[in-house]
Amino acid sequence: MGLKFPVVVFGSATIGACGGFAVIFYHSYVNRIKTHVAGSVGILLIGISLLVLLPMMTSQPILSGLSVVVGGSIAMLLPVHDDTHVTPTEATSTAVALTLHQLMEGVVLAAAYVAGGVVGLIAALFLTAHTVVETAAVGTAYVVAGQYKRGGIAVVFMQTVYVIAAVVAFRSALAVPPAAEHITTAIVGSVLLVVGIHSCRCVIDDSISYS
Ligand SMILES: [Zn+2]
């Protein structure tokens, strides 16, 4: 790839964190009104969960289907809350799920680096670019929950896990067993769906009761 591995890992982690920091910075210094972001975070989380599950949908249709059904059902069963569209618990669940996801993606980044060439470069760029959206989702969830500082910490934490996973995988030529990766992906997809759909339900419920 021409670049040293530490440069690629830290570069990818830092650029990836920008999405989360941009959201938190914007809402803590520029615009504290969070009602308009409340409506978008649910859709963002549903989008990411489908993106996470997508690569698995053809190879593991039952597991990905189960992930969608379980996540969707829990989201529909949870009572709507009118005080906030994302609770601190939901923000933390989002962060934990995407940290788990970053653990996997760190290993993928190491594999992309080892593969090298154009394919490795495109994979590394794709990983970095879509992480911007994922940290932004974590940042937005915390902003809506009213926990700006925790959001910043969560973004740093998930990117630290990404770096550690990449370094460990690179050094030990480690690969995640497919079964473990599939189960993790299913759990991550489910959790994001629960928070995403539930948040949308709260927003919809709110707009109905106020109109
Ligand atoms: Zn990802």
What is the pLDDT at residue 34? 56
What is the pLDDT at residue 150? 96
- Structural domain count, the chain: 1
Encode pLDDT of 156-192 as tens digits: 999 999 999 999 999 987 788 889 999 999 999 999 9
Confidence of residue 91 (pLDDT cuts 50, 70, 90): very high
Encode pLDDT of 37-64 as tens digits: 667 889 999 999 999 999 899 999 999 9
Concatenating the DSSP letter of every residue in 54-69 gives HHHHTTSHHHHHHHHH
What is the pLDDT at residue 173? 79
Structural domain includes residue 172: yes
Cα(174) to ligand 1 centroid in Å equals 19
C-alpha to C-alpha distance for 81 and 58, rounded to whole angstroms: 36
Cα(129) to ligand 1 centroid in Å equals 9
Structural domain includes residue 210: no
Cα(211) to ligand 1 centroid in Å equals 37
Structural domain includes residue 133: yes
Structural domain includes residue 211: no
What would the two tokens of residue 75 be?
């989201």
Q: Is the pLDDT of residue 80 over 90?
A: no
Cα(52) to ligand 1 centroid in Å equals 6
Q: pLDDT above 90 covers what percent of the chain?
A: 67
Enclosing domain of residue 135? 5-205
Cα(126) to ligand 1 centroid in Å equals 9
Q: Is the pLDDT of residue 31 over 80?
A: no
